[in-house]
Amino acid sequence: MDSPKRTLLKATIWNLIGLGMMALVGFIVTGSATVGGAMAAINTLVGLCMYVMYERIWSRIRWGLARG
């Protein structure tokens, strides 16, 4: 099971990757770095919060864990 710190680090790294991709897509779609960047920032903030909550909820669920 991941610790809360590990979960947060994993979520942060994953969301930084997503931030870059979303900013690029936002720029391509809108033609504006400002609008694309704002879209990416909002998406990243929401995604980070949701991912951390999702991981912490799953860390409490024992179903499907291999016993070793």
Q: Note the pLDDT of residue 32.
A: 96
- Cα separation, 51 vs 24, in Å, equals 21
pLDDT under 70: residue ranges of the chain:
1, 68
Q: Note the pLDDT of residue 3.
A: 85
- Cα separation, 32 vs 30, in Å, equals 5
In eight-state DSSP terms, residue 64 is: T
- Cα separation, 59 vs 11, in Å, equals 14
- Cα separation, 29 vs 21, in Å, equals 12
- Cα separation, 2 vs 10, in Å, equals 10
Q: Note the pLDDT of residue 59.
A: 87
Tell me the pTM.
0.67
